[in-house]
Structure 1
Amino acid sequence: MKLIIANRNYSSWSMRPWLVLAHFDIAFEDEVLMLSGEGWRKTIAARSPTGRVPVLVDRDLMVPETIAIIEYLADKFPDKAIWPSDMRQRALARAASAEMHAGFAALRSQAPMNLRASHPGKVALDAVASDLHRIETLWGDLLLASGGPFLFGAFTAADAMFAPVATRLRVYDLPVSDGAAAYVEAIYGLPAFQQWLSLALKEPWIVDDDEIDVIQGRIARGTLA
């Protein structure tokens, strides 16, 4: 199997299925397509039916969209605990994942994923207050019920879906409870996440559209080294 992804430093959607594949020790290779540079949109469109990444390629099957990829992996590898084994917990994990997929637009736009950065104080808290409140409630309820360290005890696809949120909380030093901070630490401590992070930090590419200083007008496009 091959997972087609974008720049690891910025591509939150690429990270999610990659973590599932890596954590559950599923054999795969990945291919990185740039999110910037001349003709990058055309290059991705030639490799993806949606013109977006990630895309999972399994022989003659091409599966776009993160949640669809994760569901395919769960079906293909039923012995892997990609979702919780309990039906009720599995429903809650899928609900949380779907909410992440469709929601938290303010946090995603105001605090783009940027793993190699440190930008405390650069996100207006009023703009993301509602999303932070919902994250606290959702994570808090699930962690209380499971006992942690992950949302359903052991790492599942739901944690993969929220891993990029954990990076945003750390990179932008957003205020969260001790419980949420402990969950962020659990995500960062995951070996698969550390592997992704290590590869991301070695990338030389800069995508202006995902750099907060460019977005907020402090630095001109094309001037970041």
Structure 2
Amino acid sequence: MKLLIGNRNYSTWSLRPWLVLQHFEIPFEDEVLQLAGPGWRENLAARSPTGRVPVLLDGALVLPETLAIIEYLADSFPDKAIWPAERKDRAMARAAAAEMHAGFSGLRNHAPMNLRASHPGKVDLDAVRKDLHRVETLWGDLLARTGGPYLFGAFSAADAMFAPLATRLRTYDLPVSDVAGRYVEAIYALPAFQQWLGLALQEPWIVDDDEIDVIQGRVAPGTLA
């Protein structure tokens, strides 16, 4: 089984199924497909049916799309508890994951994931205020219900889906409650996340489209080192 991923520093969608595979000790290998540089779009289109990452390769199966990959893994390894075991918890976890998949556009657009960076004060809080309120409510309700440290007690696919959002809160030092802050700390403490982070910090590549200084016009494209 192989997972095709984008640059670890920036690729939110790649991080999610990678965490599931790594945390639940499912044997796999990964391959980084560049998200910038000469010919990167053509190279990606040659390997991915959607021209995007991640893509799971399992025998003849070529499976794009993060939630589909996670569901395939859950079906393939039912003993791994990738989703919560209790039916109502499982339904709520899938609802939360789907909301993350489709929502939080303010944070996506104005606070791109950048694990190597620290950019306090650079995000317009008015642009992300609605998303911050929603994530506080969602995380707070679930953590109060289950007791944490993860959304459904033990780490699950729902946490994998929210892990990139948690990194945005830290990278841009966004204002959150102590409850949300502790959840961010729990994500960072996860051994699988620490492995991904360590590899991301070693990457030499820059993707201008995901660098807030380039996006906001403080730095010209191609000049970051």
The alignment's TM-score, normalised by the length of structure 1, stands at 1.00
3-state secondary structure, aligned to 2:4: strand
Deviations 1:42-83 (A, max 9, x none): 111110111110000001001100000000000000000100
Matching residue of 2:223: 223
Matching residue of 2:165: 165
Q: How does 1:47-58 map to 2 (within 5 A)?
A: 47-58=47-58
Structure-2 separation of matches of 1:127 and 1:105: 10
Structure-2 separation of matches of 1:47 and 1:133: 38
- Runs of 4 or more consecutive aligned structure 1 residues displaced over 3 Å after TM superposition: none
Structure-2 separation of matches of 1:62 and 1:94: 23
1:161 deviation in Å? Answer: 0.1
3-state secondary structure, aligned to 1:4: strand
Matching residue of 1:84: 84
Segments of structure 2 that go 5 or more residues without pairing to the other structure are: none
1:28 deviation in Å? Answer: 0.1
Structure-2 separation of matches of 1:81 and 1:62: 24
What is the letter of the counterpart of residue 58 of structure 1?
D
Structure-2 separation of matches of 1:98 and 1:182: 23
1:169 deviation in Å? Answer: 0.1
Q: How does 1:3-42 map to 2 (within 5 A)?
A: 3-42=3-42
Matching residue of 1:196: 196
What is the letter of the counterpart of residue 153 of structure 1?
G
What is the letter of the counterpart of residue 144 of structure 1?
A
Segments of structure 1 that go 5 or more residues without pairing to the other structure are: none
Structure-2 separation of matches of 1:32 and 1:193: 17
Structure-1 separation of matches of 2:33 and 2:142: 35
The alignment's TM-score, normalised by the length of structure 2, stands at 1.00
1:35 deviation in Å? Answer: 0.3
Structure-2 separation of matches of 1:219 and 1:62: 38
1:162 deviation in Å? Answer: 0.1
Q: Is residue 2:62 matched to residue 1:71?
A: no
Structure-1 separation of matches of 2:215 and 2:49: 29
What is the letter of the counterpart of residue 170 of structure 2?
R
Structure-2 separation of matches of 1:94 and 1:45: 29
RMSD over equivalenced CA pairs, Å: 0.3
Matching residue of 2:175: 175
What is the letter of the counterpart of residue 208 of structure 1?
D
